[in-house]
Structure 1
């Protein structure tokens, strides 16, 4: 089966502890702990499936029991798993987060196996299964910033990605700088929050529209900047910056909201929505997600 979009990056187990109470350093409170398929690439893929698209996964998953469970879960959700790199000597990656009523308290991403695999996850794009240097993949690609900076730099220059519609998301503010090689890629759209945008700008802009304009000035071709419940922005070189405010909702979860926003925006544009409508659709989808009105 040919995927509608390729999701390249982290596919792992999310271990999330959530409590309805306000938490601070050292808090010990009752709550719920869940284990669900996660990772930036996986979260985007799951949202794409909810909108009826078929994503193909390019990632690393270990040949351990946790990895077998994860691949089986991906397949049950209707994702193309044929091109996943299965490592014999690397464990399946994991992400652990703690969330309270006051938002994300702390998180640890153990994506070392993905980083150690390097460009092995890209082999299907070069060996003819999904493309080659002579006939590169020309469709949508969702790319996450859990890849190493050398690999992201390689992707930025690679002929394998020369015709792709690249949609790029950082894994976290701490990894935002990894996206610098892709900043001026002519086919790249960057999805970042305000903190990540300011890291890439090496400046402090108080609003998303200002940060989007600054990224365009620094060479970006297209960016989307979110800012929680505040106005968010989309900027396109030659077309300026537009902004919109997300709907007000009661926030019940945080992890995965940015990935939901990105996936919903991709889907809106794929069906032909203009800029303003696509941004509004993405903000509605993210608000619905954080309110807990749809499944994880």
Structure 2
């Protein structure tokens, strides 16, 4: 029977987003008119917020600084229904993610300062093993140090609960490659095309390449591979359900592209935790992602960064 409100714990980054958007034509090497805003962000935090809005009982395991930004992140998480009992404080500054977008909402460049998360220790994970082991599903993002990700996977394996892993970026996908050699079971991996190429060492230029690269990940213990393809939609490959290209139903007016991927990951995780098929979950995720990129508002279609 499908679980109405599954229990999910997300382990990953939480930071302050600083977003600047250029009002007109982008002119490199000079000041461009536009506007800047700040908001709570971070891949793990973004996914947790989407899950809370979808109806999951969600907790966020992360590190925040002993500063006003950390206070802001904790307050905002509580406000949207996230359990903050696993948000740990550390001396130092809470992470930041600074992005510049063009007038169409496409990212031009971003800088991510995740030094606090980079210092996370394995004990920060294992001290919560009893709580983690009774969740219906775990989600982890690639901002976590490799030993912490390995500890999470070991807990998931022992407790026989699925874990969804979001690579975050190409450099962080590169860090994940040794983890894939461990043979630990990963319920779902959610790279974009470039991250998939980095994870597998294979070119990913067409449908045949996607299938071949996904198969390599299946051979390394990944059950479901969901690849974000931007305006083309997404590609799902599963070890037992085959391959599916899921197009965008209708063209969206993109206001901010950066939150779509996190929304898609959240929807996939929510579906898997509810015991629906990966294909059903991926289709729902594609719909949610499409709403996100054409929305400037908070909620299930909030715009967030990729810290």
TM norm structure 1: 0.88
Shift in alpha-carbon separation, 1:49–1:255, aligned structure 2, 3 A: same
Matched with 2:305 is none
Question: CA offsets, 1:55-81, max 9 Å, x none?
Answer: 101100111122122212211221111
Question: CA offsets, 1:217-269, max 9 Å, x none?
Answer: 34232210111111421111133211111231111112221101111222234
Which of the residues 116, 121, 126 maps onto 1:118? 121
Matched with 1:211 is 210
- Rounded Cα–Cα distance in structure 1 between residues aligned with 2:294 and 2:184: 35
Greater shift after overlay, 6-15 or 63-72?
63-72
Answer yes or no: is the 8 Å Cα contact 1:137–1:161 preserved in 2: no
> Which aligned pairs between 1:160-179 and structure 2 lie closer than 5 A?
161-162=157-158, 163-179=160-176
- Rounded Cα–Cα distance in structure 1 between residues aligned with 2:142 and 2:207: 20
Which of the residues 46, 52, 57 maps onto 1:43? 46
Shift in alpha-carbon separation, 1:125–1:155, aligned structure 2, 3 A: same
Which of the residues 87, 103, 107 maps onto 1:104? 107
Answer yes or no: is the 8 Å Cα contact 1:168–1:191 preserved in 2: yes
Q: Secondary structure at the match of 2:49?
A: helix
Matched with 2:237 is 235
The CA deviation at 1:29 is 2.1
Matched with 2:292 is 289
- Rounded Cα–Cα distance in structure 2 between residues aligned with 1:27 and 1:254: 24
TM norm structure 2: 0.85
- Rounded Cα–Cα distance in structure 1 between residues aligned with 2:134 and 2:227: 27
Matched with 1:149 is 146
- Rounded Cα–Cα distance in structure 2 between residues aligned with 1:118 and 1:208: 39
- Rounded Cα–Cα distance in structure 2 between residues aligned with 1:37 and 1:208: 36
Question: Unmatched 5+ residue regions in structure 1?
Answer: none
Matched with 1:186 is 185
The structure, 1 or 2, with the larger RCO (C-alpha pairs under 8 Å, 6+ apart) is 2
